[in-house]
Amino acid sequence: MGVEPPATSPVTAPPGASLVELLTVTQRRVARGVSAVLAEDGATLDTYRVLRCLAAGPGRSMTELGAALSLPAPTLTRLVDGLVDAAEAYRLPDPCDGRRVRVHLSARGRTRLVRLEGLVQAHEAALSSAWGPERVDALTRALAALEDGD
């Protein structure tokens, strides 16, 4: 399993690239590689992200999911509908507000998430091998600090 699938035009940053350009190029490179790995199980990166978000809590509203994942409502609805159709998630009324629904991860969804996590972990190990574990650790720490607002 390679770090990145073959590409006719590799994603590279221009000389003297800004922070925004470097982050964008790196994100696209990593997303392209992990998307190819997830496709082995018929999943997309966004599907994987929704499953992970659902696994982190006791059910999420669509608003919470959209905010946590930075996905537009129509895209999120399509993804959740697909998970519900595959019996990997289910909807229940919100116990505090009967007009709203909460999306929950099913046992089948948890099983699939375990498979997908294995694929992603293998891909991340390949990235670490290709880029060097120190660089990957430093990048992970820096991005986590930005996310935490530090």
What local confidence, expressed as pLDDT, does residue 150 receive? Answer: 53
As for how many domains the chain has, the answer is 1
| Residue bearing tokens 């574990």 | 133
Classify residue 126 as exposed, middle or buried by CB count within 10 Å of its CB (0-12, 13-18, 19+).
middle
- At 127, is the pLDDT very low, low, confident or very high (cuts 50, 70, 90)? very high
- Neighbouring C-alpha atoms within 13 Å toward the C-beta of 78: 7
- At 10, is the pLDDT very low, low, confident or very high (cuts 50, 70, 90)? low
Which secondary structure element, helix H or strand E, spans residue 63, and what is its range?
A: helix 62-69
Q: What is the pLDDT of residues 15-37, one digit of tens each?
A: 787 989 988 898 999 999 999 99
Q: What CATH number corresponds to the domain at position 70? A: 1.10.10.10
Range of the structural domain that residue 63 is part of: 19-129
Residue 114's identity, in one-letter code, is: V
**Assigned domain for 9 exists:** no
What local confidence, expressed as pLDDT, does residue 98 receive? Answer: 81
pLDDT tops 70 at residue 3: no
**Assigned domain for 150 exists:** no
- Neighbouring C-alpha atoms within 13 Å toward the C-beta of 141: 6
